[in-house]
Amino acid sequence: MDLLKQKIEKDGVVLSDSVLKVDSFLNHQIDPVLMQAIGEEFAKRFKEDGITKILTIESSGIAPALMTAITLGTKVVFARKRKSLTLVNDLLTAKVYSFTKNETNEISVSNNFINENDRVLIIDDFLANGQAALGLLEIVEQANAKAVGIGIVIEKAFQEGGKLLRDKGIKVESLAQIELLENGVVTFKEEVTV
């Protein structure tokens, strides 16, 4: 997706050979025009999959998931990382390790929002080692729903997550795949789909 790649090149900041900071448009401050284009692109790539729900994880996945849901005419469910007084019973849960934050969170979704009749598209901002995606897949499985695919805004193709998910036979669509982060420069890889 050229618009996203241009935004990454212009406003992304390479902090190390494994960390790309995109907080000026994706995961702290949000560029709504870019998010709309991202939502439309995901909707185009998954339009034939009969999606009934979109599942993401708080908080950075919410904007692209919401814009995709608007385009597809469906609902978004987001897994919470923190407990709430209103989210205590009948939960679907999974443990997710964040390498960026060096912590494990138990993510939770009420089982009222995903069920065996749902065809679920998972959307997230980044794919690196695949832990968030695997946790969301676990929640879909607990609900006896069908995961139809995973949409990723930015994939770090030099890390194992994309290969891990694709080797499981999961349709993964990444809008920008990064092959290398080096000397402050982002090198993109061609898109890969299954």
Average pLDDT of the segment spanning 11-40: 95
pLDDT at 192: 46
Average pLDDT of the segment spanning 104-112: 92
Residue numbers of the domain that contains 87: 2-189
| Inside any domain, residue 43 | yes
Return the structure tokens found at 194. Answer: 């299954």
| Inside any domain, residue 70 | yes
The CATH number linked to 78 is 3.40.50.2020
Minimal CA–CA distance to 111: which of 94, 93, 90? 90
Q: Is residue 80 within 8 Å of residue 109, measured between CB atoms?
A: yes
Res 191 pLDDT > 60: no
pTM for the full predicted model: 0.93
Average pLDDT of the segment spanning 28-53: 97
pLDDT at 81: 86
pLDDT at 194: 46
Per the structure, the count of domains in the chain is 1
